Amino acid sequence: MSAEAEVSARTQAARQHAAAGAPRGFVRKYIFSTDHKVIGIQYYALALAAVLVGVVLSIFMRLHLAWPALHLPFVSGGVMTPEQYEALLTMHGTIMVFFVLTTAPQGAFGNYFLPIQIGAPDMAFPRLNMLSFWITLVSFLCMISAFFVPGGAPLSGWTAYAPLSALGQVTGPGEGLGQTIWLVSIGVFCIAMLLGALNFISTTIDMRAPGMSLFRMPLTVWAWFVTAILSLLSFAVLLAAVVMLLLDRTAGTSFFVPAATVVSEQLQRHSGGSPLLWEHLFWFFGHPEVYIAILPGMGVTSHLLSTFSRKPVFGYKAMVWAICAIGLLGFLVWGHHMFVSGMSPYSAFAFSLLTLSIGVPSAIKTFNWLGTLWGGKLQFTTAMLFALGFVSIFVTGGLSGLFLAQPAVDSMLHATYYVVAHFHLIMGVAALFGIFAATYFWFPKMFGRMMNERLGKLHFWCTFVGAYLIFFPMHFVGLAGGIRRYADFTAVDYLWRLQPLQRFITWAAFATAAAQIFFLWNFFWSLRRGEKAPRNPWRATTLEWITASPPPHDNFAGNYPRVYRGPYEFSVPGTAEDFLMQDVPTGPEKGARE
Amino acid sequence: MRTDEAQIAVGALAGGAGNGEGASGGNGPDGGDGMQWPAASGSVPPRAYVTGVTMGLGAVLMFFMALVSAYIVRKGMPNSGWIALPAMPRILWLNTLVLIASSVALAQARGRFRAGDSREFRRWWGAATILGLFFLAGQIIAWRELASSGVYLATNASGSFFYLFTAAHGLHLAGGLIALVWVLRLPTRRLTLGTATEVAAMFWHFMDGLWVFLFLLLMLVR
């Protein structure tokens, strides 16, 4: 048998094998599937359901803030009580942070595209992957059930500060069973994330195609990889904290409750615990969590700016090191959430300095994005617009972070709407723009159909302008002293004067939320009626575009790729097309050194 | 064929045989044409399991370090009302020796395995498993000893931490025991490359080292 015939016989065998491995039957194919692509879509559906719940909760909050005496539907008693407002706030934050910003960028797109982009047939541990998703779903259903137990949802915010969260029913209606359910749900979520993270890391390290050296990985893969490392190290700490808080609540231990705590004239039986301990443990997780939400968006943005500028990413290696540096520094700055907790000014100074130093890799990324755009042949697709929007929102939200990183300034702005505006822009809206960019970019690959560009652009402009209209004025509310987490400003004169601004924000929130109908319509309409997608509609270079849309069960139908070049070879002089895909062997093999 | 079998074995161990199932066909394109790449044959490279378990242990380490730092902070707080445990249950010394012996037996088993002596391998591996069971039983006796001296989970913070550390470690160790028993039940030919024994042993030795660390912490930082 000649060498060539032997190779083709092997390919044949591999194809048969791939076909044999594909599951049959609806349940194994679409529900209990071990296929990372199906699991990715399942995560996406979960995040979509969660974001709808989260948005509805925020609409109710904004309604109440703007018109505190308004009778609202679905609110028992008609007019919202402060406790009901706190419950909405807690669940809005929790659902958005955990079930949208953590699951969509990493669970959905990371799951779907990391294996394909490194040329692997699946994740390293497909069954573990399936398990991660189902545990996440259980956690979500558990969290939602908190609305329906006696006392309702918890009141302690997504940060669940002790002792409010540690003492049970006595501290508020939702602090009984609701808070316990919250803690169980988050504990379960931690386990799902840990299993997912170790799978992502093993896949990236050990499942890369031949030739796919680390520095030939797309920046999206780098971002998912570093995000997985952050998840692995931070969710384990949250899990420990959650276990301790649960013990404080149910077993009467005193990890977080200080001695002589009196609530509603009742002396609590706990003694000697430290609420600050909870804050430290929580924020040791909580700050990396911010980067878990935003890093994948950075990866997608780098990827898209390069593709739609038809230029290589400016400073690829600098981008990689910047992602790593942001990941590392993200673990050293948790104290900046606690400047007003009474920490030593020396600690505050150290945390402040480390926090400001994150500005350096962030600036490297921003300037490299601008460098990528510079002189490029820009194509303003919807995906590109959202990537550009990401850069804009990232810079706006990031700059207010520099102010908040100063302990002296923060002591004024802490717990005001300035902070709310800051983290919604940098963590919420920027990450959402990353999700939208990824959706418009990869929809053709995931579902085999194109999305409507005209509707997409309408959606972009409404969302982009809307996000600024909501969150930019919010900075001024904060600077004027508007306190966050308060349900009602009626009785406070200087805050009541900000009411026109609050109403404006509420109207802007309505409009922006309504504009998301363009997205939902586009998404579901395109699923069935969209134009059929070719293999590579964006003329992109990475491995997901060499395979069919949508890809077969093993991603490459047995033709596993070999990688010859880096991920962003656009407009290479002397080539027929303006892009060279990673599996194209012609031309000098570049970037082989690792 | 040898590698294929080993891959199936480890694939089943980590529950990741989504692709491994098909590999029993054994006709993957794993020839020497420069395309040698285990994933291309439809199964996962054995080293992925080592990486996976290493990462899992990283997460376990972070979990325990969070508890340990909470212990140190909680103890050092002003007005913490910290009362040291009256006396460490004496059986903990025995338990510690038993667990170390278990690790030694496991290392012996791996040595026999490399020498190709599967009978001796099973004997030593089984001994390690039984010693592990003894350790867990001993920990429960330690709890009873502590409880009989009047220290319960919520009595004081030092007791809370003692129960928390031992329970969390015991749960992880019980998981390790399941893995040890599972390896013992595998047919010998499926263990050819030894990845299953390698990752199980990694986990077990880690839990052993972790216990020694926790024991020293509870003894020295009271």
pLDDT, tens digit, 9 for 90 and up, residues A486-500: 999 998 899 999 999
For residues B122, B128, B129, B130, the Cα torsion angle rounded to the nearest 10 degrees is: 110
B18 vs A contacts (CB less than 8 Å): 21, 34-35, 122, 126-127
A120 vs B contacts (CB less than 8 Å): 39
Interface test with B, best of A1, A7, A8, A10 (most B CBs within 10 A): A10
pLDDT of residue A575: 85
How far does the CA of residue A190 sit from the closest CA of chain B (Å)? 11
pLDDT averaged over 10-residue windows placed end to end, chain A, 594 residues: 49 52 76 93 98 96 94 84 95 97 97 96 95 98 96 95 92 94 98 97 95 96 98 98 96 90 85 91 96 97 98 97 96 96 92 96 97 96 98 96 95 95 96 98 97 98 98 96 92 92 97 97 96 96 95 91 94 89 75 44
CB pairs below 8 Å between A and B: how many?
191
Q: What is the 3-state secondary structure (H, E, C) of A335-348?
A: HHHCHHHCCCHHHH
Are the Cβ atoms of A21 and B21 closer than 8 angstroms?
Answer: yes
Respond yes or no on whether ipTM tops 0.85.
Answer: yes
Q: Compare B17 and B91 and report the one with higher pLDDT.
A: B91
Interface test with A, best of B7, B10, B33, B62 (most A CBs within 10 A): B62
User: What stretch of H or E contains B38?
Assistant: none
pLDDT of residue A73: 83
Nearest C-alpha in A relative to B161: A255
**A569-570 and A579-580 beta bridge pairing:** antiparallel
Nearest-CB residue to B33 (from A7, A16, A198):
A7
pLDDT of residue A269: 82
Nearest-CB residue to A202 (from B41, B48, B74):
B48
pLDDT of residue A16: 52
User: What stretch of H or E contains A142?
Assistant: helix A126-145
Nearest-CB residue to B153 (from A6, A251, A258):
A251
Nearest C-alpha in B relative to A562: B35
Are the Cβ atoms of A247 and B153 closer than 8 angstroms?
Answer: yes
Nearest C-alpha in B relative to A253: B154
Give the DSSP letter of residue A483.
B
Alpha-carbon distance values, B78 to A274, A349, A426, B68 (Å): 10, 23, 37, 18
CA distance A45 to A31: 12
pLDDT, tens digit (0-9, with 9 covering 90-100), for A133-165: 999 999 999 999 999 999 999 999 999 999 999
DSSP string, A391-451: HHHHHHHHHHHHHHTSHHHHHHHTTBHHHHHHHIIIIIIHHHHHHHHHHHHHHHHHHSBPP
Are the Cβ atoms of A284 and B66 closer than 8 angstroms?
Answer: yes
pLDDT, tens digit (0-9, with 9 covering 90-100), for B132-171: 999 999 999 999 999 999 999 988 899 999 999 999 999 9
Interface test with B, best of A1, A4, A15, A17 (most B CBs within 10 A): A17
pLDDT of residue A21: 63
What stretch(es) of chain B map to CATH 1.20.120.80? 46-220
Cα of first residue to Cα of last residue in chain A, in angstroms, is 36
Q: What average pLDDT does chain B have?
A: 82
pLDDT, tens digit (0-9, with 9 covering 90-100), for B17-72: 333 333 333 333 333 333 345 445 556 888 899 999 999 999 999 999 999 999 99
Are the Cβ atoms of B56 and A201 closer than 8 angstroms?
Answer: no
pLDDT of residue B5: 38
Are the Cβ atoms of A3 and B81 closer than 8 angstroms?
Answer: no
Give the DSSP letter of residue A287.
H
- Write phi, then psi, for A239 (nearest 5 degrees): -60, -45
B67 vs A contacts (CB less than 8 Å): 240, 244
Nearest C-alpha in B relative to A129: B16
A7 vs B contacts (CB less than 8 Å): 29, 31, 33, 35
Interface test with A, best of B63, B65, B73, B75 (most A CBs within 10 A): B63
pLDDT of residue A556: 92
A14 vs B contacts (CB less than 8 Å): 27-29, 40-42
Nearest-CB residue to A126 (from B19, B49, B79):
B19
Are the Cβ atoms of B48 and A273 closer than 8 angstroms?
Answer: no
Which of A447, A442, A507 lies closest to A473, judged by CA?
A: A507
CB-based contact A344:A274 (threshold 8 Å): no
Is the CATH code 1.20.120.80 the one for domain B46-220? yes
CA distance A548 to A529: 19
How far does the CA of residue A154 sit from the closest CA of chain B (Å)? 24
CA distance A515 to A249: 42
3-state secondary structure of A124: coil
CA distance A321 to A202: 20
Within 13 A of A533's CA, how many CA atoms are on the CB side?
28
Using pLDDT thresholds of 50, 70 and 90, give the confidence band for residue B207.
very high
Residues facing A569 on adjacent strands: A580
CA distance A104 to A96: 10
Give the DSSP letter of residue A580.
E
